[in-house]
Amino acid sequence: MTWPNNGQNNWGHQPPPQSGHQYTGNYSGFGMFEEPLRDGRKPRRRKWLTITAVVVAVLALAGGVAAALVFGGTTPQRPAPQAAPPPAPTSTTFVPPDAPEPVVPGWQVAYNPLGQIAYDVPPDWQVLPENDTWSAPTLGNVVFQGLSNGAPYSCGGGFVRGQVGSTAVEQAQPIDVTANQFADAVGREIYRTTSPQMQLQLAPPQPLQIDGVEAVRVDATATLPPGNPCLPTEATISTVVFQAKESFVVVVAGADSAGGPPEPAAPGAEVVGQIVESARPVR
Angstrom distance (rounded) from CA 161 to CA 254: 9
Whole-model pTM over 0.75? no
pLDDT in tens, 5-26: 333 333 322 223 333 322 222 2
- What average pLDDT does this structure show over 212-217? 96
Residues in the chain, overall count: 283
Angstrom distance (rounded) from CA 278 to CA 283: 15
Picking from 127, 118, 128, the residue whose alpha carbon sits closest to that of residue 283 is: 118
% residues pLDDT > 90 (the chain): 54
- Which residues form the domain of 131? 4-281
- Any idea of the CA torsion for 262, 265, 269, 270, to the nearest 10 degrees? 140
Q: Are residues 46 and 39 in contact, defined by beta-carbon separation less than 8 angstroms?
A: no
Q: Are residues 134 and 12 in contact, defined by beta-carbon separation less than 8 angstroms?
A: yes
pLDDT in tens, 111-124: 999 899 999 999 99
Angstrom distance (rounded) from CA 123 to CA 68: 32
At residue 213, what are phi and psi to the nearest 5 degrees?
-110, 130
Average pLDDT, the chain: 75
CATH number where 43 lies: 3.40.1000.10
> Burial, 176: exposed, middle or buried (Cβ in 10 Å; 0-12, 13-18, 19+)?
middle
Picking from 155, 153, 163, the residue whose alpha carbon sits closest to that of residue 229 is: 155
Q: What is the DSSP string of the chain?
A: ---GGGGTTTT--PPPSS-SS-EESS--GGG-SPPPPBTTBPPPPPPPPPP-S--S-S---SS---TT-BBTB-----PPP-BPPPPPP-S-EE-PPPPPPPSSTT-EEEEETTTTEEEEE-TTSEEPPTT--B--GGGTT--BEEEEE--EEESSSEEESEEEEEEEE---S-HHHHHHHHHHHHHIIIIITT-TT-EEEEPPPEEEEETTEEEEEEEEEEE--S--TTSEEEEEEEEEEEE-SSSEEEEEEEEEEEES-SSSPP--HHHHHHHHHT-EE--
Three-point CA angle 64, 223, 9, nearest 5°: 90
pLDDT in tens, 128-186: 998 899 987 788 889 999 999 999 999 988 899 999 999 999 999 999 999 999 999 99
Higher-confidence residue of 82 and 221: namely 221
Q: What is the pLDDT of residue 135?
A: 87
pLDDT in tens, 61-90: 333 333 332 223 333 455 556 676 655 555
Q: How many domains does the chain have?
A: 1
- What average pLDDT does this structure show over 87-95? 62
pLDDT in tens, 23-40: 222 233 334 544 434 444
